A = this chain, B = another copy of it.
Amino acid sequence: MTSTPERARRGAPPRTAFLLAQVGAEAADRFAERVAALGLTPREAGAIRVLGRRQGLSQRELAEQLGTVPSRLVALVDELEAKGFVVRERSEGDRRNNVLTLAPDGERMLARLREVAEAHQGDVLSPLDDDEQVALAALLAKLAAASSFPPDGHPGFRR
C-alpha cells in the first residue's frame, strides 16, 4: 500500500497558494512604488483609471467601482481635484449627485499611468520567457474568472 506520498503526486506542491499571495503582494508593492514616483497613491491611480473608462460617475458609483465606502471618497476626490486631475461638478439632473470627470491634466496622468503599468509588467514578468508569460496569463485568467471580485477593486489600490 502506498500511503504516505500519495497526495503529493498530483496537484501543486504545498506552498503554492502561499507563493501566489506572496508574489502578488510583491507585484502590488512595486507598482505602488512606481505610482508614488508620479506623486499618486495607488488609490488615486485607481480612481483615475476608472474615471478614464467611465467619465461622469457619481461619487457613490466610483466608490462602488473601487470597492470602498462613499465617505472615504470625499478626501480622495478633494485631493484629486486639488491636484488638477479631476473635476467635481453638481449634476444638473439631480442636484444631490456630483459628476466626476477627468481634467486635461488627469487625461495626461492617465496616459503616464498606462506607460508605468506597462513598464511595471515588463519588470515583474521579466524572469519568464514569452511562452511562460502567456501560460501564466492564461492560468491567472482562469483563477480570476472563477473568483468574483470588483473589476478595479482590491489589488494595489488598497493602500
Contacts and interface: CB of A to CB of B under 8 A. Distances in A.
A11 interface: yes
A13 B137 contact: yes
A127 B143 contact: yes
Q: Give the number of copies in the complex.
A: 2
A16 B154 contact: no
Nearest to A12: B133
A134 B139 CA distance: 11
Nearest to A18: B155
Interface in A126-159: 126-128, 130, 132-137, 139-147, 149, 153-156, 158
B133 A146 contact: no
Given A25-B24, A27-B20, A127 B145 contact: yes
29 contacts: A11-B133, A12-B134, A12-B136, A14-B118, A16-B136, A17-B121, A18-B117, A19-B137, A19-B144, A20-B140, A21-B24, A21-B27, A21-B154, A22-B24, A22-B155, A23-B24, A23-B143, A24-B25, A24-B27, A24-B28, A25-B25, A25-B154, A26-B147, A125-B143, A127-B145, A127-B147, A128-B139, A132-B139, A139-B139
Interface of A: 10-14, 16-29, 31, 117-118, 120-122, 124-128, 130, 132-137, 139-147, 149, 153-156, 158
